[in-house]
Amino acid sequence: MRILIVNKHLEDEIGGSEVQCNIIARHLKAYGHEVIYGAVKSRRPSYNCSYEVVPLKKLNFRSLRRTILETRPDLVYWRYNKKSLLVAGILCKLYGLKMVFSISHINDTKKWSHKSVRLGERIQQLISGRINYLGYRFVDGVVSLRKDLAESVPSYRTIKKTVIYNSMTPELSGSFQWDRPYIFWVATIKKPKQPELFIKAAERLADKPFDFLMVGRIFDDSYSYIKEGTGLPANFHYLGMKTPNEVNTILRSSLFLVHTCHHEGFSNNFIQAWLQEKPTISLSFDPDGFIEGHGIGYCSGSFDRMCAQIVELFENEELRRQMGIRARDVAERLFRPDINVKAYEQFFKSILGTRGMRESGEYPI
């Protein structure tokens, strides 16, 4: 197969979907497929990858058409949310391509959705999102990272759909030492992630003999005080942005992971923690019921209960150990790249069907 993956690239921006696309691209390449990565908003002239990367500085009809004609894929794997989904779908149908859309966020399943708190931007996002929701009419297959989101795929036409969980690896980078026991929070720092609640928990539990460590890129200027260290409790420490392997290293020495984010997709940091045998305490989000269902942490439901459970899990070493063992078992069974990318490979083949792969020069101009 010749597959075009469209998303921002990990070397340009460290984010959950970028990490996943890099894993998928590397493994599909290793399995013998031709992989081209369309790097949206590309920031560099070259990439240190085993697969081909082409820049997509602008995501519009003209640039997408040019990329399709230059790369000539059999299938387009779109993992850039609903942004430009309608244009991409129309182009795929125009050139007889198959297209698979990857649901990475709850907003990908909604007709009307926005992320901005500013009124003007919110209206623009609502309109744009509604228009691009029509892109489902041109999609041949949908991959969802959660079961409940797969059930929300619209039934405009016959769309094949499947659930394939995110994948992560447990590799470490260097070593990490800290003077006191610590709990860990990691995500991009913006309002939907609610980092202020982790800081608030640190303030409430300032008398406890452990620290609160935070990692993540600050996307929202309203959180610049975190980097500046202004008015923060003494037991809270911001470590800046780290690579996935560096996050694994910090997790390995932590007590457990704390998660305060809103319902979005399926956070990679959950899987990273579980691979390092660490339980998770999530304020309100339990993707597909993994945390409570497998007994690998808590889904608190309220801030007060989250703080109580942080103390409980800190004080009960044996409970942490048992939860951690179960977490590692779940992660190794369900979130392994070799298994999950094979599932992608089979799904892509089922989408292409008996038509087979496209011959060179078959595209209409």
Residue 82, SS3 per DSSP: strand
Q: What amino acid occupies position 275?
A: L
What's the CA gap between 183 and 251, in Å, rounded?
9
Q: Is the pLDDT of residue 365 over 50?
A: no
Structure-model confidence comparison of residues 154 and 89, the more confident one: 89
Q: What is the mean pLDDT of residues 217-238?
A: 95
High-pLDDT (> 90) share of the chain, %: 85
Tell me how far apart the alpha carbons of residues 210 and 183 are, in angstroms, rounded to a whole number: 7
Sequence-ordered alpha helix ranges (H) in the chain = 16-30, 61-71, 85-94, 119-133, 147-150, 195-204, 224-228, 244-252, 268-275, 290-293, 303-315, 317-334, 337-352
* Spans of all domains in the chain: 2-167+337-355, 182-334
**Counting beta carbons within 10 angstroms of the beta carbon of residue 175, is it exposed (0 to 12), middle (13 to 18) or buried (19 or more)?**
exposed
Encoded tokens for 177: 């030492």
Residue 125's pLDDT is what? 86
Structural contact between residues 55 and 71, judged by C-beta atoms closer than 8 angstroms: no
Q: What is the DSSP string of 217-264?
A: -B--GGGHHHHHTTT--TTEEE-----HHHHHHHHHTSS-EEE-PPS-
Give the pair of three-digit tokens for residue 163: 């659930």
| pTM, two decimal places | 0.92
Looking at every residue in the chain, the average pLDDT score rounds to 93
| Burial category of 70 from C-beta neighbours within 10 Å (exposed 0-12, middle 13-18, buried 19 and up) | exposed
**Residue 362: band (very low, low, confident or very high) from pLDDT cuts 50, 70, 90:** very low
Architecture of the structural domain at 2-167+337-355: 3-Layer(aba) Sandwich (3.40)
Nearest to 40 by CA among 18, 71, 68, 72: 18
285-340 pLDDT tens trace: 999 999 999 999 999 999 999 999 999 999 999 999 999 999 999 999 999 999 99
- pLDDT confidence of residue 309: 98
- The 10s digit of each residue's pLDDT in 255-295 is 999 999 988 889 999 999 999 999 999 999 999 999 999 99
pLDDT tens for 99-140 read 999 999 999 999 888 776 677 787 888 899 899 999 999 999
Lookup: tokens for 207: 């008398």
182-334: same fold as 2-167+337-355? yes
**What is the three-state SS of 157-202?**
CCCEEEECCCCCCCCCCCCCCCCCCEEEEECCECHHHCHHHHHHHH
CA 316, 318, 319, 322: dihedral to nearest 10 degrees?
Answer: 160
Q: Could you give the CA distance from residue 119 to residue 125 in angstroms, rounded to a whole number?
A: 10
CA–CA gap between residue 91 and residue 255 (Å, rounded):
49
**Domain 182-334 adopts which CATH fold?**
Rossmann fold (3.40.50)
Q: How high is the pLDDT of residue 182?
A: 98
Angle 118-121-122 from CA coordinates, rounded to 5°? 75
